[in-house]
Structure 1
Amino acid sequence: MKKMSRLEAVLWNIAFPGFSQLLTGHYLKGVLLVVLEFLMNVNSNFNQAIMYSFLGEIEKAEAVLNYQWLMFYPCVYLFSLWDGYRMAMPKEEKYSFLPFVFGAYFVTVGLMVSPKVTIFQTHPGPVFLPMMFLIPGLLIGFVIKYSLSRKIQNE
């Protein structure tokens, strides 16, 4: 079983959910995450929406997306990231899941409100708005993790 750093585990899963699990020998979990990612990606038309978004054709991105399938994506994606991170983190680290969980919550909310949100007369759409929502989700998760860790240290 390959040992990898937390950064390496997260970066492999950013590339494709399940990759760090496969690289560390957790084949069942890795294959399950790869299959889930593939099913959600294909059934939601996510790659086509990403392409249209990067080409500035936000309306086309919204038109091709199947939101019902895509709403599963943030939770599976961020679970895969956390699981890869968890396999590489020190045993004494606590609350590492919080930034990932809050990131998943916020990305899902960003996806749900994306058809209605305009920022400075720009409509970011269903790809870029959820990406922007990840930032406050991670920040809130890190603040809560830090607060809980400090509270336990002080007890």
Structure 2
Amino acid sequence: MNNYTNDNTARRYKAHVSILGTTQLHLRNPYIIAWWSAAFPGFGHLILSKYFRGYVLFIWEVVVNINAHVNLSMIYSFQGNIDLAKEVLNTRWLIMYIPVYLFAIWDSYRTTVDMNRVYLLAEREEHRFNSFTLGALEINYLDKRNPILSLIWSLFIPGLGQLYIHRILTAFFVIIWLVIFFYYSHCLEAVSLLFLGKIKEATSVLKPEWLLFIPSHYGFAMYDSYINTVENNKLFEKELRNHLKENYQASGFRISKGQKVK
């Protein structure tokens, strides 16, 4: 591994390895990022590693959604109880909810487009970046990991896939909020009653407005860990290839196009 550091002497870097994780620029589909923001405001920004903005939008979504009874209204709509769905909505909170929800979708799309442009410039400039960091609390370095394992660990408990690839900030955030969602939805209590065959009791203890957060949480954790594992592997391969070329390839080495090696 090299000893390069991101010391802001270059205009743009493709990646940065710190004790809290590996952050990198790579091409993303802005429509997919916008979709994740629509599924749950904040997720699109977290995929982009825009952590503070993502945290604010995520917490806003939970607080305002619960107080506006958006999830509860959605559940009644799914059941065909349209009148009840309208009745439970709290307009004092709902009017605040809509503009921020739309902003999250628009801003994640706009940011993705901008970051794709920055990536293309950084790729052209080819400045070296650090690939190893050693601190008092953690060690992080570029290496290859299995994206399927990231997916499986996230399927067990969201956040474990992020821990596997050393995406510490996202991992802690996802795990903490998973515990909150499990606690307030009584999901695990319902699962225990279900195993005991008490189906009606299991259904009655559930808090659907909190339960509805969990599928998006699982989906995000699985997608984020898988995609970042794939991209980290690409980054590792390219960094290693450049390192080997600089330090071990003969300066006069050439590959002649169209000629077979005998």
Bucket of the pairwise TM-score, normalised by the shorter protein: 0.5 to 0.7
Provide the TM-score with structure 1 as the length reference: 0.55
* Structure number with higher strand proportion: 2
Query: Which of 56, 60, 66 lines up with 1:42 in the alignment?
Result: 66
Other-structure match for 1:79: 103
- Note closer, same or farther for the CA distance 1:59–1:6 as it changes in structure 2 (3 Å cut): same
* Structure number with higher helix proportion: 1
Q: How far off its partner does 1:14 sit?
A: 1.4
1:52 aligns with 2:72: no
Q: How far off its partner does 1:16 sit?
A: 0.7
1:19 aligns with 2:43: yes
Report the residue type matching 1:47 in the other structure: N
CA contact (8 A) 1:45 1:66 kept: yes
Q: How far off its partner does 1:12 sit?
A: 1.1
- Matches for 1:83-122 after TM superposition, within 5 Å: 83-89=107-113
Provide the TM-score with structure 2 as the length reference: 0.33
Report the residue type matching 2:33 in the other structure: A
Q: How far off its partner does 1:2 sit?
A: 4.7
Say what the alpha-carbon RMSD is for the aligned residues: 1.9
Other-structure match for 2:181: none
Unaligned runs of at least 5 residues, structure 1: 92-155
Work out the CA distance in 1 between the residues paired with 2:39 and 2:58. Answer: 11
The structure with the larger Rg is 2
Moved over 6 A (4+): none
Unaligned runs of at least 5 residues, structure 2: 1-23, 116-262
SS at 1:71 equivalent = helix
Work out the CA distance in 1 between the residues paired with 2:114 and 2:59. Answer: 29
Q: How far off its partner does 1:40 sit?
A: 1.0
Other-structure match for 1:66: 90
- Please list the CA deviations of residues 123-144 of structure 1 after superposition, one character each: whole Å capped at 9, or x if unmatched: xxxxxxxxxxxxxxxxxxxxxx
Work out the CA distance in 2 between the residues paired with 1:38 and 1:53. Answer: 20
